[in-house]
Amino acid sequence: MHRTPSLIRPYILTALCSVPLLASTCTDASTVQAAPETGENGSPNKPERAFPVTTHILEPRAVAEKIPCTGNVEAFHTVEVVSRANGQLLDVAIEEGQTVTKGQVLFSIDDRHQRLSLEVASNRQKDASSRVKEARFALQETKDRIVQADLEHRQANRALARTKKSHEEDLASATALEDSQLACDKCKSALDLAKTAEKKAKLGLELAANEAERAVIDHKIQDRLLEDYTVRAPITGVVSVLAVKGGEQIAIQSPVCTIVASDDLVLYLKRPQQELSQLKVDQKVEIEVDAFEEHFKGHIDLISPTVDATTGTFRARVRVADAERRLRPGMFCRARIITGTSHHALMIPKAAILYEADRPFAYVVRNNTAVRIPIERGIELTTSLEATNTAKTPKSGMFVAGDRIVIEGSKKLEPGRQVQVKQ
């Protein structure tokens, strides 16, 4: 058996004794490093786990706020045509559904009696005109007599003056003076009579002129009444109702047809007074009817200045654009009034909106952290709400395009909470 030299044996024993001690020291160090941290109550603290959420990416888009309503299409101008004369209806020149223009002949009524009345008025006008001429001639004659009488009166005055002078010189007798005075007085009376006749002639002319004027007016009236025997279209439109066939005996104010201006359609909408501040003149309106797939356009052109006290509603009138004349008065339609538009709106889904004291807010994910941002209201749609507090780059309290809005899991979130977006 091989033996170890006695000189080396002490060193071997020393080394063998050191091995367990080193192993014990390493074991204690590893145990200290792996020991978990403990809380105040002595239990170990667990690291915060990211909360799983579902998000929606905000992208700017064009939106419009619309108020839905219903109504019936109406013709802005509808006229019921009535007869303005009595007589037999001789001719019907139109058919139901026909388009007519303003001034077009629609009906003819027997006008023979009225033509006779017009002829009588015409003869009366001629007679009155002749009497005016006669009165003018008479007036001119009196003026001529006045001129002649005035001339004779002046001559008589000069003759009287000479006779008086001769009588003073005893060259003329008293009889001659009396004859000269008598002749002068006679000429004066003739002048006065001529002037009176002139006044009478002027009055006669005035009466004749008045009579002639009345005759002219009567002639115009009879001529105007004759026009009523030809019924013309008062507006351009479509004959919607034809009430006569021809040959009937009709009276004044008898309805004969109805014309609607089909190229000028309107829509009257009754809205609650709460919307009075939202509706404005010139706002655009989208219109749809069951008969056509495409939508029609219109705009508000009148908002009633009064509110119905019984119903609490006011009326708005919409002008309907229909160049092809496809719509018909009476059609039921659905309309949407566009009260606001935004071309680059950031719409927050309503599933993501939370409320605190009636103030809306939502959570966005930035750097894997939940950030709470209040919502300043803009256009509201059925499923989303526009946030008007926006910016081009991320800022506190502002939404930006590309933000991830939490739509699931937001109710359990708190600001600053670590989140994990579900894929």
**Residue 364 corresponds to which amino acid?**
V
Residue 173: pLDDT above 60?
Answer: yes
Question: Nearest Cα to 59, choosing from 346, 377, 343, 361?
Answer: 346
> What does the pLDDT look like over 376-390, one tens digit per residue?
999 888 899 999 999
* Predicted confidence band of residue 409 (pLDDT cuts 50, 70, 90): confident
What does the pLDDT read at residue 48?
66
Question: Nearest Cα to 230, choosing from 406, 49, 324, 90?
Answer: 90
What does the pLDDT read at residue 5?
43
- Section 402-420 average pLDDT: 90
- Section 174-194 average pLDDT: 92
What does the pLDDT read at residue 49?
81
What does the pLDDT read at residue 47?
57
* Predicted confidence band of residue 127 (pLDDT cuts 50, 70, 90): very high
Beta bridge partners of 361: 354, 374
- Section 325-332 average pLDDT: 90
In this structure, are residues 230 and 108 in contact, taking their beta carbons and an 8 Å threshold? Answer: yes
* Predicted confidence band of residue 45 (pLDDT cuts 50, 70, 90): low
What count of other Cβ atoms lies within 10 Å of the Cβ of residue 395?
12
Q: Look up residue 94 and give its two tokens.
A: 């139109």
pLDDT above 90 covers what percent of the chain?
72
Residue 10: pLDDT above 70?
Answer: no
What does the pLDDT read at residue 18?
40
- From residue 186, alpha-carbon distances to 155, 162, 191 in Å are 12, 17, 9
* Predicted confidence band of residue 418 (pLDDT cuts 50, 70, 90): very high
Q: Look up residue 111 and give its two tokens.
A: 């006008």
Residue 316: pLDDT above 70?
Answer: yes
What does the pLDDT read at residue 422?
84
What does the pLDDT read at residue 65?
87
Q: In terms of pLDDT, which residue wins out, 25 or 101? A: 101
What does the pLDDT read at residue 324?
86
> What does the pLDDT look like over 337-387, one tens digit per residue?
999 888 999 999 999 999 999 899 999 999 999 999 999 999 888 899 999
Residue 21: pLDDT above 70?
Answer: no
- Section 77-103 average pLDDT: 94
Residue 120: pLDDT above 80?
Answer: yes
* Predicted confidence band of residue 262 (pLDDT cuts 50, 70, 90): confident
- Section 42-66 average pLDDT: 81
- Of 6-15, 159-168, 214-223, where does the model show the most confidence? 214-223
* Predicted confidence band of residue 412 (pLDDT cuts 50, 70, 90): confident
Domains of the chain: 52-62+343-421 (2.40.420.20), 79-110+230-258 (2.40.50.100), 112-227 (1.10.287), 260-341 (2.40.30.170)
What does the pLDDT read at residue 228?
95
> What does the pLDDT look like over 214-236, one tens digit per residue?
999 999 999 999 999 999 999 99
What does the pLDDT read at residue 44?
54
The dihedrals phi and psi of 240, each to the nearest 5 degrees, come to: -90, -30
What count of other Cβ atoms lies within 10 Å of the Cβ of residue 313?
18
- Section 86-95 average pLDDT: 93
